[in-house]
Amino acid sequence: MRVSLRCGIALSFVALVVACGGATSEPAAVKTCAEDPSQPKCVTITPAIDSGLRFYAARNGRFVGTALDAAFGATTAYDGLVSREFSIITAANAQKWQTIHPTRTTYNYTRADAMLAFAQANGMKMRGHTLAWQNQNPAWLTGGGYPADTLAQILKDHITTVLTHYKGTIYAWDVVNEAFNANGSIAPTIWSNALGRGYIETAFRAARAADPAALLFYNDYNLEFTGAKQDSAFVLVQDFKARGVPIDGIGFQAHFQINADGTGVPSKSSLTSTFQRFAALGVKIHITELDIRVRTPGATPSELSAQTQAYADIVGACVAVPACEVITVWGVTDTESWVPSTFPGYGSALLFDGALAKKAAWAAVKAALGG
Ligand code: XIL
């Protein structure tokens, strides 16, 4: 029986705060975190971190996360901030095929294991990212010229090996990443080109078999906007649910851009409706890679205030929908963000500046979490 309460317990200097965000179709026999704080999905926040975002998230029964990359482990200031502010982490790159499966016969878990140990030592969870994607694959895979049946076996073996290594430790896996084009068709990838859309089901079944306790997610960008791509992800989840293919959640990457004309970010009400649409299928919702970029240099005051408001709206939409339990931002500081190199002319997309100082967006997130 799967226990899927979204609960948080926060111990502050003055009070014991118990927060449960409500259950989504759980069996009645499951205890709440207040009744049984030892459940694996209850979070205990220590007094030392009661001013971080994770404290406010826990009061809402939510996790707030970040993605770790090269800056992790480099300074105690950075690592200390991560453990104060966040209750769940993702490896930005360390669990991608290129890093974790560098040759056909070898796996390298060193960096991701260090992140997991850090998470465990600080009462944080870890999301796994990612098991089937088009990008950041090793040359042995992309240039191997393997026939379809061999590729299917390589995919299953990778998932089985990695999830067995992490069995019982990863809260949720992004099993398949970015499978759809903007028009809703299946994106051409090393997997779909050889195996058709069936590779998605193959990947989810292999993941469930290897670690039955991990929540399994489909993860993509631009699902936050209504349209053909969102519809294809919806049909995928609907079909998996109808046929009993294992899937537990949908990851909304949430990479947004503030445009001069005010577009680029869904409104709070539209995003709330989108989350409700997927929640009605009985899956959890994670915001997996949130960042909101502005023009750099030269963002106008109104663009900057639109960015702050957008952070409030995205977090507010999650808080409004019980099935939405994780809000992960894609990196800690603007300096380490992938945005400036990927979207030239844009940046300043995260909650902290390069000096680890909180930005207005941090306060907006805190307020949206009720802090
Ligand atoms: C990005 C990383 O942040 C970069 O460091 C890397 O160079 C490229 O990938 N969608 C995803 C993430 O699912 O894995 C990507 O991460 C950002 C887009």
Q: Whose CA is nearest to atom 15 of ligand 1?
A: 92
**Once rounded to an integer, what is the mean pLDDT over residues 33-48?**
58
- C-alpha distances out from residue 135 to 142, 161, 223, Å: 10, 20, 19
178 in active site: yes
Distance CA 314, CA 320 (A): 10
CA of 288, closest atom in ligand 1: 13
Distance CA 57, CA 34 (A): 16
Q: Is residue 27 reached through a cis peptide bond, with omega within 30 degrees of 0 on the bond before it?
A: no
Name the most confidently modeled range: 2-6, 13-17, 179-183. 179-183
- Cβ count near 356 (within 10 Å): 15
Is pLDDT of 128 > 90?
yes
- Cβ count near 232 (within 10 Å): 20
Catalytic residue among 178, 224, 325, 336: 178
Mean of pLDDT over the chain: 91
**Once rounded to an integer, what is the mean pLDDT over residues 2-31?**
38
Q: What is the pLDDT of residue 46?
A: 53
- Cβ count near 38 (within 10 Å): 8
Distance CA 287, CA 317 (A): 10
- C-alpha distances out from residue 325 to 8, 21, 122, 221, 271, Å: 11, 8, 19, 18, 15
Sequence-separated (6 or more) residues with CB below 8 Å from residue 249:
172, 215, 216, 217, 218, 283, 284, 285, 286
289 in active site: yes
Is pLDDT of 11 > 50?
no
Q: Three-state secondary structure along 257-292?
A: ECCCCCCCCCCHHHHHHHHHHHHCCCCEEEEEEEEE
**Once rounded to an integer, what is the mean pLDDT over residues 128-150?**
98
207: CA distance to ligand 1 center in Å? 22
Question: Confidence band (pLDDT; 50, 70, 90) for 48?
Answer: very low
156, 162, 166, 168 alpha-carbon torsion, rounded to 10°: 0
Return the residue matching tokens 């014991």: 16
Q: What percent of the chain has pLDDT over 90?
A: 84
93: CA distance to ligand 1 center in Å? 7
Alpha carbon 65 to chain centroid, angstroms:
8
Ligand 1 within 6 A of CB of 236? no
Distance CA 348, CA 368 (A): 20
**Once rounded to an integer, what is the mean pLDDT over residues 64-91?**
98
Ligand 1 within 6 A of CB of 177? yes
Ligand 1 pocket test: which of 66, 69, 89, 93 has the largest number of ligand atoms within 8 Å of its C-beta? 93
Is pLDDT of 202 > 50?
yes
Distance CA 94, CA 82 (A): 17
Question: Confidence band (pLDDT; 50, 70, 90) for 34?
Answer: low
Ligand 1 within 6 A of CB of 137? no
Q: What is the pLDDT of residue 325?
A: 97
**Once rounded to an integer, what is the mean pLDDT over residues 14-21?**
35
Ligand 1 within 6 A of CB of 92? yes
Sequence-separated (6 or more) residues with CB below 8 Å from residue 131:
158, 159, 162, 163, 173, 174, 175, 176, 177, 203, 207
80, 81, 86, 90 alpha-carbon torsion, rounded to 10°: -80
Is pLDDT of 29 > 70?
no
Is pLDDT of 27 > 70?
no
- pLDDT by residue (tens digit) across 307-339? 999 999 999 999 999 999 999 999 999 999 999
227: CA distance to ligand 1 center in Å? 24
Ligand 1 within 6 A of CB of 232? no
- pLDDT by residue (tens digit) across 215-224? 999 999 999 9
- pLDDT by residue (tens digit) across 100-127? 999 999 999 999 999 999 999 999 999 9
Edge-to-edge order in the sheet of strand 16-20: 16-20, 7-11, 44-45
- pLDDT by residue (tens digit) across 230-247? 999 999 999 999 999 999
Q: Whose CA is nearest to atom 4 of ligand 1?
A: 338
pTM of the model: 0.89
**Once rounded to an integer, what is the mean pLDDT over residues 192-206?**
98
Is pLDDT of 306 > 60?
yes
Q: What is the pLDDT of residue 262?
A: 81
